[in-house]
Amino acid sequence: MAVELHFVGHLGNNLFQYALARVLAEELGLALQCRPARERPGFEAVERASGIVDRLDQWHHRFADVPLQRPGREIDHPQWRQVMGEQDGWHGHGVDLPFLLRSGRERRIVLRGYFQRTEYVHPWRDRVRRWYRLPPPAPAFAAGPRDVVIHVRQSLDMKLLGRALEPSFYARALESMTPAPRTVHVCGLGLDDPALTAALAPWRPRRLDLDAVGTLAVLAHARRIVLANSTFSWWGAYLATEAQVIHPRPVRGYWSLDRPEVALEVPEDRYTVVDGVPVRRWQPLRWASAAAWRLDRPERDLALRGPGGRGWRLPATLESPLRWLLANPGTPFGLDDLYEHGLDVAARRPLIEVLLALQKAGELTVADDALTWLARHYGIDAK
């Protein structure tokens, strides 16, 4: 095939990938072939537990015009490949689209990445929105002109990744609206989160329990929307061409200014970008006792020693987060609290291993099975 797309991730991700691949195929007169996403060991289980299971190759028939194969000229060689895992330092977003539009006509283009940049979609917005058009939701789920639809992602995956927005963002967004909302509809993942429930309580929101495409249809036909920092959420607002949209820019992480390779702000007046949205600090861990533990440096490595002769030999890169941990024995904490103490990515796996060992020893209490899911993500046996 001439444009060969390998899906990555789930539905919101896939909509970006398909849009880029099909634009290239149509602009260059090439055939299009879409391949299903491969399972990703570890974090796939976290996503399933979070309710993230839907992919475009499963649901493409629900959209107006999303064939997974399209005819056109077919070329085998030469190839132009933008594939995660094949290019050092490339994490799936940037692509030289002008070059491909100029020079890709006689190439086989192979894509496997996220490609989350508005510039790959917006020049062809009318065409893309026509492909992704959805029928209006049933009257029971429709939102009126003064209603607001809030899409949230307070699910386990977002907490583990340190991406979940503080629920107070949604309350402030609702307070800022003129006229005031008549009815607030809330949809998405993590709707039972206690902090979210408390933040939205004054508006007595109507909860919408729908499948993924049904949820996207509600967003696509809404008049006022408050987004989560989620690609699924982004597409719902982008398809709702008449809606007023509140778009969060978090203080850190995904969608923030420290991730310039992801660029999803939309140059339309109907969008209001809110800067400095706080990201939730998830703290499911706590020392179970005040037993005396100490950290030694017998040689180049660390030694974490506790009562009864228990202890572990650890890499020196864990010294700063472990000293912080030992200095705050009664304080709830999460992985972000440890990561910010100079911990690089390579040291995260041994840190998870020592936290699991402390949990098994009864020295650490853990809520929400946080360490079990993190262990799966890093391929660690948590038994």
Q: What is the pLDDT of residues 39-60, one digit of tens each?
A: 666 677 778 877 888 999 999 9
Domain locations in the chain? 3-131, 139-277, 285-377
Q: Which residue has the higher pLDDT, 31 or 296?
A: 31
Helix (H, G, I), strand (E, B) or coil at 253: coil
**Within a 10 A sphere around the Cβ of 137, how many other Cβ atoms?**
20
**What is the distance between the alpha carbons of residues 296 and 85, in angstroms, rounded to a whole number?**
39
Q: Is the pLDDT reported for residue 299 higher than 70?
A: no
**What is the distance between the alpha carbons of residues 181 and 159, in angstroms, rounded to a whole number?**
29
Gyration radius of the chain's alpha carbons: 23
Range with the poorest average pLDDT among 2-11, 97-106, 221-230, 330-339: 330-339
Q: Tell me the CA distances in angstroms from 60 to 20, 64, 212, one per residue in order.
A: 16, 9, 12
Determine the distance from the C-alpha atom of residue 363 to the mean position of all C-alpha atoms in its chain, rounded to a whole number.
32
Under DSSP, the state recorded for 328 is -
Q: Which residue has the higher pLDDT, 128 or 342?
A: 128
For 227-379, strand residue ranges (E) read 244-250, 271-277, 285-287, 294-296, 302-305, 311-314, 364-366
For residue 335, the number of C-alpha atoms closer than 13 Å in the C-beta half-sphere is 24
Range with the poorest average pLDDT among 81-90, 185-194, 254-263, 336-345: 336-345
Percent residues over pLDDT 90 in the chain: 59
Mean predicted confidence (pLDDT) in 280-287: 86
Q: The domain at 139-277 falls in which architecture?
A: 3-Layer(aba) Sandwich (3.40)
Q: Is the pLDDT reported for residue 222 higher than 90?
A: yes
**What is the distance between the alpha carbons of residues 180 and 349, in angstroms, rounded to a whole number?**
48
Contact in structure between 250 and 229 (CB atoms under 8 Å): yes
Q: H or E stretch including 111?
A: strand 108-112
Q: In what order do the strands lie in the sheet with 79-83?
A: 69-70, 32-35, 3-6, 108-112, 79-83
pLDDT band at 376 (very low <50, low <70, confident <90, very high): confident
Determine the Cα angle at 356 with ends 353 and 361, to 5°: 125
**What is the distance between the alpha carbons of residues 107 and 42, in angstroms, rounded to a whole number?**
35
Q: Whole-model pTM above 0.85? A: yes
**What is the distance between the alpha carbons of residues 205 and 16, in angstroms, rounded to a whole number?**
30
**What is the overall mean pLDDT for the chain?**
89
Q: Phi-psi region for residue 332, left (φ > 0), alpha (ψ -120 to 50) or beta? A: beta
**Of the candidates 1, 9, 152, the residue with the CA atom closest to the CA atom of residue 91:** 9
Say what the pLDDT of residue 40 is: 66
Helix 231-239 to helix 212-220 angle, to the nearest 10 degrees? 40
**Could you write out the DSSP letters of every residue in 18-83?**
HHHHHHHHHHHTB-EEEEPPPP-TTHHHHHHHTT----HHHHGGGSSS--SEE--B---SSEEEEE
What does residue 63 show for φ and ψ, rounded to 5 degrees? Answer: -95, 165
Q: Is the pLDDT reported for residue 298 higher than 70?
A: no
Return the structure tokens found at 260. Answer: 């310039």
